[in-house]
Chain A
Amino acid sequence: MTDSETLERIRQGDERALDFLYKKNYKMMTKLVINNSGSDDEAKDVYQDALIIFWQKAMDRNFVLSSKISTFLYSICQNLWRKELDRKSRLSSEEKDGEEINDIDKKERIEIINQCIGQLGDTCKKILTYYYFDNLSMNEIAKKMGFANADTAKTKKYKCKKELDEFIKSKYKASDFLD
């Protein structure tokens, strides 16, 4: 599969293109982390994150690939690993500050949100994540989900989002009440 074919397939939301890229570049990308004081697990984690970032970027129709995919991936891996090394060094030199303590409310909200997402039906989960993460068009979502057309996908997306919002708000109110 050439780079342009891979890119095209990613843009159609074909996860097999992601699998293909992952396997193809695994050794080269993980070596980068491992050779820079990273563990195997860290290397794998960074590479997976980099690949998912690439996946998301590739979805953007304005994205232009100016180098080979592998080169592009390599630079994402480098940046991610540099950030991770920075974070690690900061953590080791500083005591944990109260930054996170202020976010208890937020954490609780996110927990509620995640619970609600977890309880969504599979179809709704897919539609919403394809829309909000993969940035797939309604047409592509319809194709992927086997819907008749983009309008069906749009209606379903609207209903699913509404369901999720209402679910979250009902839970949120209950938790507020308990507080």
Chain B
Amino acid sequence: MNQEFDKSAIEAYLRNELSPTDQMAFEQRVAQDPLLQNEVTLQGEIIAALQQHRRTELKERLNQIDVNGESRYPSYLIWASLVAVALLGVGAWLYLGQPDPVPAPKAVIPSQGALPEATRAQPAPSPFRADTAVSSGQETVAGENPGETRRKRSPAAKPASGEVSKPSQPTGSKAIRLEDEEKKLQREPAGAVTSRPSSNAGSQQPGETEKPEGKPAKANDRYRFHYRYQRGEFVFFGLVKAHPQVKLNGRTYLAYEGAFYPLDTDAVGITPLVAETNEDLIRQLKNELPAAN
């Protein structure tokens, strides 16, 4: 006797899956075979017991249900909905409530005679580091965004002192982004900006400075190569690393690519860097320049 065949036939019979003809034929076989009859009985009991097991399980499940509650929906669904609505609200606020994008300063370079690092107290509420920022539009927005938390603090900044505050008054002027390929960028001030982490800039966060390929740089182009004076230091936009500053006749100049850019402590707003053109001054400044540059 083929037991496997019998098993599937028994099961088909017990599950009413046989055609009437097959069913009759099977019943005849059962009637003539006591062993098969025993097996059919046992299998029928096993299936019945399994069914009873499931019935009991379902009844236990139903017994857990609170039938007095009026709500047609489980309370967790209601809570989940409320949380979802709240999150949407926050998301909308973050998205719509953002002011015009303002670049985060690329590097903070204390001016000569400026307040030491320790005094760079930052009462501004923005906990989002500006001086790690780059000139990509995305990141300048992030610098402004109170919800943006991925900014990393510059190692130069004291933990308690906070950071350079976010620029509050974006200007429409154009800035050049400074980095290792600064020359190129100077030639193409509005070109694509794919920055490269600079070992020189402690505040630089590799990966954060990379501008997504093909992304328009309009939002930050206007702040390329800008600066402003903020809390005792000059903050530069579009710079990857710090560049030397030279003091001459009480005025500070940024030395950059062989040119000198006068820095004004009155520049509280974001101000474009404009190279000094006075040949005499440039000559004097070059003499003042540290040997390293």
Contact = CB atoms under 8 A, between A and B. Distances in A.
Contacts of A117: 49-50, 53
A26 B58 CA distance: 16
B62 interface: yes
Given A19-B62, A24-B72, A52-B59, A134 B54 contact: yes
Nearest to A165: B46
Nearest to B66: A23
- Among the interface residues B48, B54, B57, which one has the most CB atoms of the partner chain A within 10 A? B54
A129 B51 contact: yes
Interface in B52-94: 52-55, 57-59, 61-63, 65, 67, 69, 72
Interface string A8-45: 00000001001110111011000000000000000000
B45 interface: yes
A23 B58 contact: no
Nearest to A25: B67
A155 interface: no
Nearest to A162: B7
A130 B42 CA distance: 20
- Say which size band chain B's interface belongs to: 20 to 34
Nearest to B70: A23
Contact of A113 (B49, B55, B62, B72): B49
Chief secondary structure at chain B's binding surface:
helix
Interface in A95-125: 106, 109-110, 113-114, 117, 125
Contact of B67 (A22, A52, A168): A22
Nearest to B51: A133
A132 interface: yes
Given A24-B72, A113-B46, A18 B62 contact: yes
A141 interface: no
Nearest to A21: B62
B53 A125 contact: yes
B25 interface: no
Contacts of B72: 20, 23-24
B47 interface: yes
A172 B39 CA distance: 13
B42 to A, nearest CB: 7
A58 interface: no
Contacts of B15: 132
Contacts of B59: 48-49, 52
A7 interface: no
Contacts of B67: 22-23, 26-27
Given A52-B55, A133-B55, A15 B61 contact: yes
B62 A129 contact: no
Nearest to B8: A158
Given A22-B65, A109-B42, A168-B42, A114 B58 contact: no
Contacts of B54: 129-130, 132-134
A132 B51 contact: yes
A18 B61 contact: yes
A19 B65 contact: yes
Nearest to B68: A26
Nearest to B71: A23
A76 interface: no
A161 to B, nearest CB: 8
Given A109-B45, A110-B45, A168-B42, A133 B61 contact: no
A48 B42 CA distance: 28
A55 to B, nearest CB: 7
B62 A48 contact: yes
10 contacts: A23-B67, A26-B67, A48-B62, A109-B42, A109-B45, A114-B49, A132-B15, A132-B54, A133-B50, A165-B46
Given A52-B55, A113-B46, A130-B54, 13 more contacts: A23-B67, A26-B67, A109-B42, A114-B49, A114-B52, A117-B49, A117-B50, A117-B53, A128-B50, A129-B50, A129-B57, A134-B54, A164-B46
